A and B are shown apart, each in its own frame.
Chain A
Amino acid sequence: KNQVEQSPQSLIILEGKNCTLQCNYTVSPFSNLRWYKQDTGRGPVSLTIMTFSENTKSNGRYTATLDADTKQSSLHITASQLSDSASYICVVSAGFQKLVFGTGTRLLVSP
């Protein structure tokens, strides 16, 4: 069964600190992996998209990594800001119309 599991479920960090969110997947075939940020009461916003051949992709203070061999991805947030408080969703594409969504990691950045 195609699944995307994210950890931790929730996380609290102090403003200015770094953090890393994890995503493990069992999705086949693999097309690409995406990270989205979802603010409370809003729709998800795309952060990165990585294909099989990409190991790292950055978007400002967000850096995603992908290990296709172990089927793991991580999202690293550097120098966190209060505005980073949100849910972060990992999504794996298995091809046309086959997006498998994780349940997200809820991040709270505390002042």
Chain B
Amino acid sequence: NAGVTQTPKFQVLKTGQSMTLQCAQDMNHEYMSWYRQDPGMGLRLIHYSVGAGITDQGEVPNGYNVSRSTTEDFPLRLLSAAPSQTSVYFCASSTGTFYGYTFGSGTRLTVV
């Protein structure tokens, strides 16, 4: 089992560029979410999805878009990168929000 796979592992962007962080899971989990982790802060929820075709905003959604066309994939799009988006991004999946989450290994993004 691959679990939750995130690509790329590292990325450097220039301010204003756009990119997509990929997330795929092979556990047939309905629930998927994106978090960012910044130094000295707990993980913060960006966007989440409770199933294909259904997405919603989390705590810090500004500057990010998501879509969920299949159960397996949940990409995160940065529309116009800003230095404030420099962070480590984690994708997670679960059978439900009241169950344990499986996290990917993360994408370290630097915006210069």
Which A positions have Cβ atoms within 8 angstroms of B? 4, 31-32, 34, 41-46, 49, 89, 91, 93, 96-97, 99-104
Contact of A46 among B40, B48, B101 (CB under 8 A): B101
Q: Are B97 and A93 in contact (CB under 8 A)?
A: yes
| Interchain nearest-CB distance for B22 vs A (Å) | 15
Across-interface contacts of B40 in A (CB, < 8 A) = 103
Docked CA distance A91–B58 (Å): 16
Which stretch (B13-21, B77-85, B103-111) binds chain A?
B103-111
A42, A99, A103 interface centre (most CB from chain B within 10 Å):
A99
Across-interface contacts of B56 in A (CB, < 8 A) = 97
A-B contacts besides A93-B97, A100-B42, A103-B41, 18 pairs, CB < 8 Å: A4-B42, A32-B98, A41-B105, A43-B90, A43-B92, A43-B103, A43-B105, A43-B106, A44-B101, A45-B103, A89-B42, A91-B42, A97-B56, A97-B97, A99-B45, A99-B97, A101-B44, A104-B42
Which residue of B has the minimal Cβ distance to A103?
Answer: B42
Asked if B112 is at the interface of the complex by the 8 Å CB criterion, the answer is no
Docked CA distance A9–B99 (Å): 27
| Interchain nearest-CB distance for A52 vs B (Å) | 12
Which B positions have Cβ atoms within 8 angstroms of A? 4, 40-45, 48, 56, 58, 90, 92, 97-106
Across-interface contacts of A34 in B (CB, < 8 A) = 100
Docked CA distance A89–B35 (Å): 14
Q: Interface of chain B, helix or strand or loop or mixed?
A: loop
Q: Are B97 and A96 in contact (CB under 8 A)?
A: yes
Across-interface contacts of B97 in A (CB, < 8 A) = 93, 96-97, 99
Q: Are A49 and B99 in contact (CB under 8 A)?
A: yes
Q: Are A44 and B103 in contact (CB under 8 A)?
A: yes
Across-interface contacts of A46 in B (CB, < 8 A) = 100-102
Contact of A97 among B4, B43, B48, B102 (CB under 8 A): B48
Closest 8 CB pairs of A and B: A101-B42, A43-B103, A46-B100, A101-B43, A44-B103, A43-B105, A43-B90, A43-B104
